[in-house]
Structure 1
Amino acid sequence: MRKIIMLLCLLLFLTAAYSYPQSIQAYTAPLTADEQHVLEQSLSIHEIDREIARIESQQNETERSISELSEQLEGKNEQIKDIREQAGARLRAYYMGEREDLLAALLSVGSLRDFISVLDYYELIMDRDRTVLNNYKTEYADLKKTKTKLESVSAELTQIKTNLQLQRNRVAALQEQVDTTLGHSTDPEKLMAMIEELTKYWENIGLYEVRRYFRALSTAMSDFSDFLDDHKDSLVSEKGGYRLEVREEDINAFLRDKNERLQDVSFEFGQDKIIVHGSREGLRLEVEGHYTVENEPENSITFHVDRLFINGFELPDTTRKELEEDFDLGFYPKKIVPFVEATEVDIAQGTLTVKLKLSF
């Protein structure tokens, strides 16, 4: 029975997967400029709402962390009071001469046996003193660390709240524009139906498929060192290092060989930009971006998503940022040649060039 239910669920999903692309294709062309614009705005509203939900979740987690850290700080303050008193007593004993009296007693004993007994007692006291003082130092250092972490997390929460308010303002402004467009439309019901259909398509198919594309690209790029195994002539030695030249046709062949999912994906190197095209079962993906050299947390050639289109509709910066954070489309020179690091990246027509310097 369970297998039958799972099979029915799968059939329902596949039915939705094929019906949504067909229905969206019915109105993606031709669209008026106003229709195109309002559909993009509605898609942006949906995506920024998703970002708001993510930020709110992050805010809740951060507030929980602050609460936990505050409790830890309060507990450490209580613990350190007792340890501070003990440490103070030890220090007063030294300054007031009590330890010198004990040492004098040690030197005045009349037999070796008594001397050893007093010495053992003296060492025991000294060890206890050191333990108390070291405990105080350790607890005080932990207290300072907890306080610093609490201040850092509190500052992060302030930034999160600012970002949350910013995104809410964006949604409100976009929603007002969409409402205005609907109010001036000659056929608001049709336009509203298009907005709902596009939103459903994105929720059920679009976002899932886009993430699958990015996941496949990320997995392939993580094996970029394999690229040189097939294209050794791409790495050219020059004074002080190397020059890596990646040709458009070579990277496309490499990606398609790495993952069947990328058979319909192509990289296009233009002047200072890269355009990635993909098309599958009614979904058309276009990503425009560029590479930069980054040195933190390690030397890398990092890909940045500048523009993102799904079936001709542009998605907002929140979606681009999310995909950048979740999927790494860059590569790491030290994984190609262990003793080099990238210093410059250049994108020209048909070629990506990376300059590498020796780094021992």
Structure 2
Amino acid sequence: MKLRHKLTAILLTIGLFLQPTSAYIYGESTPEDTQAILQKTLSIVEIDHEIERIAKKQEELAVQHKTLSAQLKQQEQEIHIQQERAGAVVRSYYTGERDSLLMTVLGAKSFKDLFVLYDYYQIIIGRDQATLDKYQTRYNSLQQTSNQIRQTSAELVEMKTNLQNQRTRVASLQKEVDKQITASGDAAAIQKLMNELTLYWENIGIYEVKRYFKALASAMQNLPDFIQKQNGAISTTGTTYTIRIGQDELNTFLRSQNEIFNDFAFTFDQDKITASGQRDQLQLSIEGHYTVENKPQNAIRFHVDKLVFNQLELPDTTRSMLEREFDLGFYPQKILSFVKATDVSTDEGVLEVKLAISF
């Protein structure tokens, strides 16, 4: 049996335990108990991946910190040399040595001597300026490296804390799962089901979820063009512009972009956006909201508040990972270059974006 077919069969088996109306009892465990175990199992798997990501990033930052420290030491030696040279130049001006040189030029007895002395004077002054510029460049570089070291040090401390928190979180979840498995009455069967869920998720589930997010991110790049072509989508009152997008219009747009959205739909409610659908044996539900952000550029950014895969809610680490990897926002300045978004809201069936002229 091919892996995909085998995993599909596994998913169907798992689905039997997640039907709330099913009277099937697995040992002494109810479907609700089994779902709770599977929920925590999936969270453990995903948080473990986050721990791996943090640990890897921590190693990269440690190497970067070491490299920057070596650079700083080298730069400190170089700037010490440049500092001595720059100091000598400044002292020469302070003691009037350069004034004496200028007086020598001005005291030339012939035009020929004047031009020769002036050339020498220009060379010396030019070298002085080059010495001072070199010192300033070295100093700026030293300051930049020092700032980078401080930043990486702070990030390493933050990552160490995050890593410890995630490990504590996994240990707590694992303890709960172990306790529930023991109480289930058939630990071996529950453990097998957990292993099958993990196998399905890591080989198909996560890739299918990412497939939807990738398709959404790609479609959102074309949303500004779509809005521009919609009559009445943009209105103006004085210096304020408003973009209104209906959920039906958005769903029509998405389906024109990718057939994956034929069985997937967005719903706008007050301060909440839901996107859900089902294809084959995969069910996916995304809940989130939009915010206006100005860094690194003005944008309407989508935040994932809840992500449910086949009735199992994924942890915040997965949501954060997907937000980092896929940009589901859109950029109003691609619609009207002279404006910026100031507010975004959703109500029943409508997404509304307020824009103001950007000075």
Asked whether 1:264 is paired with 2:263, we answer yes
CA distance in structure 1 between the aligned counterparts of 2:163 and 2:2, rounded to whole angstroms: 36
CA distance in structure 2 between the aligned counterparts of 1:295 and 1:113, rounded to whole angstroms: 63
Report matched runs for 1:53-68 at 5 Å: 53-68=52-67
Whether the 8 Å CA contact 1:18–1:281 is kept in 2: the answer is no
Which one is further off, 238-247 or 74-83?
238-247
Q: CA deviation at 1:27?
A: 3.1
CA distance in structure 2 between the aligned counterparts of 1:282 and 1:28, rounded to whole angstroms: 13
CA distance 1:119–1:238, shift in 2 (3 Å)? closer
Corresponding residue for residue 21 of structure 1: 11
CA distance in structure 1 between the aligned counterparts of 2:102 and 2:108, rounded to whole angstroms: 11
Q: CA deviation at 1:26?
A: 3.8
Gaps of 5+ in 2: 23-29
Report matched runs for 1:151-166 at 5 Å: 151-166=150-165
CA distance 1:129–1:341, shift in 2 (3 Å)? closer
CA distance in structure 1 between the aligned counterparts of 2:10 and 2:254, rounded to whole angstroms: 28
CA distance 1:129–1:271, shift in 2 (3 Å)? closer
For residues 22-69 of structure 1, give each alpha carbon's deviation from its aligned partner in whole angstroms, at most 9, with x where no partner exists: 343343324533222121111111100100111111111111111111
Whether the 8 Å CA contact 1:106–1:119 is kept in 2: the answer is yes
AA aligned opposite 1:157 = L
For residues 137-187 of structure 1, give each alpha carbon's deviation from its aligned partner in whole angstroms, at most 9, with x where no partner exists: 211121111111211121111111111111111111111111111222211
Corresponding residue for residue 129 of structure 1: 128
Report matched runs for 1:20-99 at 5 Å: 20-29=10-19, 30=22, 32-99=31-98
Q: CA deviation at 1:356?
A: 2.8
Report matched runs for 1:221-240 at 5 Å: 221-229=220-228, 231-240=230-239
Corresponding residue for residue 3 of structure 1: none
Which one is further off, 68-77 or 205-214?
68-77
Whether the 8 Å CA contact 2:290–2:300 is kept in 1: the answer is yes
CA distance 1:307–1:90, shift in 2 (3 Å)? same
CA distance 1:182–1:86, shift in 2 (3 Å)? same
CA distance in structure 1 between the aligned counterparts of 2:316 and 2:141, rounded to whole angstroms: 40
Report matched runs for 1:1-360 at 5 Å: 12-16=2-6, 18-29=8-19, 30=22, 32-229=31-228, 231-360=230-359
Whether the 8 Å CA contact 1:215–1:327 is kept in 2: the answer is yes
AA aligned opposite 2:185 = T
CA distance in structure 2 between the aligned counterparts of 1:110 and 1:230, rounded to whole angstroms: 80
CA distance in structure 2 between the aligned counterparts of 1:259 and 1:43, rounded to whole angstroms: 29
CA distance 1:36–1:17, shift in 2 (3 Å)? closer
Which one is further off, 347-356 or 199-208?
347-356
CA distance in structure 1 between the aligned counterparts of 2:270 and 2:101, rounded to whole angstroms: 83
CA distance 1:131–1:359, shift in 2 (3 Å)? closer
Give the SS at the match of 2:168: helix
TM-score by length of 2: 0.90
Whether the 8 Å CA contact 1:24–1:201 is kept in 2: the answer is no
For residues 197-229 of structure 1, give each alpha carbon's deviation from its aligned partner in whole angstroms, at most 9, with x where no partner exists: 111111011100000001111111111123325
AA aligned opposite 1:349 = E
What percent of counterpart residues are identical? Answer: 44
CA distance 1:205–1:87, shift in 2 (3 Å)? same
Whether the 8 Å CA contact 1:241–1:340 is kept in 2: the answer is no
